[in-house]
Amino acid sequence: MSDLKGKSIIGFSRSQSEEPFTQAVDPATGETLEPQYYTASSEEVAQALALAEKAFPVYSNMPASKRAEFLR
């Protein structure tokens, strides 16, 4: 597994955004958690939606056992 970078993965590419937003916080300690996260651009969101729409017919017709395997 690779290190977390705090960037969205859209298709097979990592988001190019450099605009950070509030990081996750450990509720027990109040400590800020790494990595810092970044927003996705409107174009990246549109691309993610288009890819999801294209994948839905294939994924939704997959047997439950294959979907479970994919998610693991």
Q: Enumerate long-range contacts of 26-32, CB under 8 Å, 24 or more apart.
A: none
Q: What is the pTM of this model?
A: 0.65
Give the pLDDT of the chain (72 residues) as one tens digit per residue.
457 677 888 988 888 888 887 778 899 999 988 878 888 889 999 999 999 999 999 999 999 999 999 899
The CB density around residue 65, as the number of other CB atoms within 10 Å, is 8
Residue 62: partners with Cβ closer than 8 Å, 6 or more residues away: 70
The encoded tokens of residue 6 equal 């705090």
Distance CA 51, CA 59 (A): 12
